[in-house]
Amino acid sequence: MLTIEADGHVATLWLDRPEKRNALGPAFWSDLPVAMAAIGSDPEIRAVLIAAKGPHFSVGLDLVAMAGLGGPMTGGDGTPLSMAARAKSARTSVLRLQASVTAVAECPLPVIAAIHGYCIGGGVDLAAACDIRLASLDALFSVREAKVAIVADLGSLQRLPHIIGKGHVAELAFTGKDITAARAREIGLVNEVSADADAVVADARALAFEIAANSPLAVQGTKAVLAAGEGKSVAEGLDYVATWNAGFLASDDLVEAMTAFVEKRPGRFTGR
């Protein structure tokens, strides 16, 4: 379901189930946090790209393979389970899937999504957990859960309001309708729209390499400071970044940045 490719300081995590339009089945939910942990702990990697093989980014949850998500109807002895027991089991399953997506949001490295074709339901949850989203012209987005009689529960309703605002989230989630890449850019869901699937991956890779050329200490620090500032006052955010920078101003990367500026050359950062 997932494959990882590394190119210099950039890792690409591929959704690699094209025959199922990258529907998110059991293997995906188990493998995603493992893959993100491996990428995030690799000292050579400075930026992450999430992209998809085949004609679509993801059509969302594999409803057939994940049919038991609501919890078993009976216990091991065949006795029917109570509503409370079934609800407890279902909640445990949902929390596990939530934690899988959260592994993307909590990656210390910047994560860029390159989206093409369908990005539906769980695909939107995954994209919303990324720091930056780019889309191809043919991309279609849908917070589809209301159309299948459930409430979106893997992060879209929590993360999208900070990305596109409450009104746009409400419209998408209440209707379950599709929106185009152009509309997604208009409301701020994606930063840019590329010509096609190949172009969006190329553009996302170029952006990832641009990020990776900077000091990894500064980039990862910026992501941490942005995350810490969510829901906080300006004063609290300023206090946090002052403390953060106090610990990193003596870095080798800062010395290299100053030296490179004087010598009029690109910096060669080591992350130390």
pLDDT tens sequence across 13-26: 999 999 999 999 99
> Who wins on pLDDT, 249 or 53?
53
pLDDT over threshold 60, residue 34 = yes
Position 184 scores a pLDDT of 98
| Whether residues 100 and 148 fall in one domain | yes
Tokens describing residue 13: 């995590």
Residue 208 pLDDT class (50, 70, 90 cuts)? very high
Q: Is the dihedral of CA 219, 163, 112, 15 positive or negative?
A: positive
Position 220 scores a pLDDT of 94
| Whether residues 135 and 244 fall in one domain | no
Whether 269 maps to a domain, the answer reads no
pLDDT over threshold 60, residue 107 = yes
Of the three residues 173, 193, 212, the one that is the final residue of a domain is: 212
Position 79 scores a pLDDT of 72
Position 84 scores a pLDDT of 82
Q: Which residues pair with 61 in a beta bridge?
A: 24
Decide: residue 73, CB within 10 A, 0-12 exposed, 13-18 middle, 19+ buried.
exposed
**C-beta neighbour count of 19 within 10 angstroms:** 8
Whether 272 maps to a domain, the answer reads no
Q: What is the CATH number of the domain that holds 245?
A: 1.10.12.10
Position 68 scores a pLDDT of 59
Of the three residues 178, 193, 212, the one that is the final residue of a domain is: 212
The proportion of the chain whose per-residue pLDDT surpasses 70, expressed as a percent, equals: 96
10-15: strand order across its sheet: 2-7, 10-15, 47-52, 111-115, 132-136, 192-194
| Whether residues 223 and 203 fall in one domain | no
| Whether residues 101 and 203 fall in one domain | yes
What average pLDDT does this structure show over 47-75? Answer: 82
What average pLDDT does this structure show over 171-197? Answer: 97
Please, are residues 195 and 136 in contact by the beta-carbon 8 Å criterion? yes
**17 phi and psi, to 5 degrees?**
-135, 55
Whether 271 maps to a domain, the answer reads no
Task: Specify the amino acid at residue 64.
Answer: V
Lowest mean pLDDT among 114-128, 193-207, 232-246: 232-246
Whether 204 maps to a domain, the answer reads yes
Lowest mean pLDDT among 33-47, 184-198, 199-213, 234-248: 234-248
| Whether residues 257 and 164 fall in one domain | no
Whether 42 maps to a domain, the answer reads yes
Of the three residues 175, 193, 212, the one that is the final residue of a domain is: 212
User: Torsion angle of alpha carbons 22, 28, 31, 32, nearest 10°?
Assistant: 70
What average pLDDT does this structure show over 149-175? Answer: 96
Closest CA to 148 of 123, 116, 173: 173
| Whether residues 101 and 85 fall in one domain | yes
**CA distance to 83, 91, 120, 129, per residue, from 73 (Å):** 9, 14, 28, 32
Whether 240 maps to a domain, the answer reads yes
Position 162 scores a pLDDT of 95
pTM to 2 decimals? Answer: 0.92
| Whether residues 98 and 182 fall in one domain | yes
| Whether residues 158 and 230 fall in one domain | no
Q: What is the CATH number of the domain that holds 167?
A: 3.90.226.10
| Whether residues 257 and 171 fall in one domain | no
Range of the domain at 235: 216-263
Q: Which residues pair with 4 in a beta bridge?
A: 13
pLDDT over threshold 60, residue 186 = yes
Position 86 scores a pLDDT of 76
> Who wins on pLDDT, 237 or 267?
237
Whether 268 maps to a domain, the answer reads no
| Whether residues 170 and 241 fall in one domain | no
Position 69 scores a pLDDT of 63
Tokens describing residue 1: 């379901």
Whether 70 maps to a domain, the answer reads yes
pLDDT over threshold 70, residue 119 = yes
Question: How many domains is the chain built from?
Answer: 2
**Helices 26-40 and 83-105, packing angle to 10 deg:** 30
| Whether residues 196 and 94 fall in one domain | yes
| Whether residues 200 and 82 fall in one domain | yes
pLDDT over threshold 70, residue 77 = no
